[in-house]
Amino acid sequence: MKVYLDNAATTPVASEVFEAMVPYLKNEFGNPSSTHSFGRQAKGTIETSRRKIASLINAKPSEIIFTSGGTEADNMAFTVAINQLGVKRVITSEIEHHAVIHTAENICEDKNVEFQLVKLLPNGHVDLDHLQELLEQGDKKTLVSLMHGNNEIGNLLPLKKVSELCRQNGAYFHSDTVQTMAHYKFDMQELDIDFITGAAHKFHGPKGVGFLYIKNEIKGLPFIHGGSQERGLRGGTENLYGIVGLAKAMEIAYEDLEEHQNHVQGLKSHMIAELKKNIEDIHFHGDITPENSLYTVVNVCIPPTPKASMLLFTLDIKGVACSGGSACTSGSAKGSHVLEGIKADTSRPNVRFSFSRYTTKEEVDFAVGILKEALEKELVD
């Protein structure tokens, strides 16, 4: 048996999404910028997809900018905020995805923008009192960038509360919502956020396509120079079949969102209970309460083992695919910056299990059994 429990890294493409993309890989191949019938057909398809995505998050179609994924979308948000809006201070946290933290550090250094980190509470949540203190200091135009759901420990940010703090203090608000887009409802009229991001491959769409939501009042200069595509922000021929797949994947996700949420939360709660029952001295990083935690992710702190460095490899060999943190840092010799940021015990191995709508209880039970077996064997050896 082979079990895939690394859905925070990427998800399998839904069959309905694949089928929706096929015509645009075979027959409907026109360049959306061409004026003939092939181009007009392609352009119309893109705009239909844009309207569909906008309607699902209660935004305007003109507020959706298609990108190559979440990383580009995050980079674009910072570029627009600093180059066009005149932001002179960025507030973020130590546990943001590298697409945010590295972008913020680099652009702040390059543009001589003040860079500040908000404190974190012991459970990994953002200290909102400290955020308010930072926002009330000085009069520099500020961008707050805090992710909605942490991709390693699963903590959820109260978006509405943070957006209200930003508005009260005249700050712009960007949230990396890559892990939560199409997993939670978003109403952009109610949330009042300036920038959010999405990536299709996190919710059973294709890799290499995503979007940035930019509030309509914000006008930006080109992020990628070339043509006038995507409100003039991103030159280059659009990823037609990818955009179709993105829109279809979002449509499917929101058709039965509550059922999906209940199914996956049930799997997560079941795994937590089974791990506690079967493995002594096991802990969990971050806040695992359902109301404050991303239901697709659980980060497990394993008891010390002699061969901790081989644990993920052992699980893989035995048929369980999972990770020790973000897939974006899997080639790095450094430990998790998220676990370091929350002052977690990094002397013990950690494993991130992440689920999708296709994950089953049998697969979760199999994974728990393999982990238990691997730990018992290591301790005996």
Q: How far is CA 224 from the centre of its chain?
A: 22
Rg (CA), the chain: 21
pLDDT tens per residue across all 381 residues of the chain: 999 999 999 999 999 999 999 999 999 999 899 899 989 999 999 999 999 999 999 999 999 999 999 999 999 999 999 999 999 999 999 999 999 999 999 999 999 999 999 999 989 999 999 999 999 998 899 999 999 999 999 999 999 999 999 999 999 999 999 999 999 999 999 999 999 999 999 999 999 999 999 998 888 778 888 888 888 889 999 999 999 999 999 999 999 999 999 999 999 999 999 999 999 999 999 999 999 999 999 999 988 877 767 889 999 999 999 998 655 444 444 578 887 887 676 778 889 999 999 999 999 999 999 999 988 875 545
pLDDT of res. 334: 59
Q: Is 108 a catalytic residue?
A: no
- The answer to whether the CB of 285 falls within 8 A of the CB of 342 is yes
The per-residue pLDDT for range 292-323, each reduced to its tens digit, is: 999 999 999 988 877 767 889 999 999 999 99
> Considering Cα of 75, then 76, then 78, then 82, what sign does the dihedral take?
positive
pTM comes to 0.93
- The stretches of the chain forming alpha helices (DSSP H) are 15-26, 37-56, 70-79, 98-111, 128-136, 159-168, 188-191, 240-255, 257-278, 311-317, 337-341, 361-380
Neighbours of 134 (CB within 10 A): 21
Q: Walk me through the domains of the chain, giving residue ranges and CATH numbers.
A: 3-11+256-380 (3.90.1150.10), 15-255 (3.40.640.10)
Catalytic residue among 166, 301, 322, 328: 328
Secondary structure element (H or E) that encloses residue 33, with its range: none
pLDDT of res. 267: 98
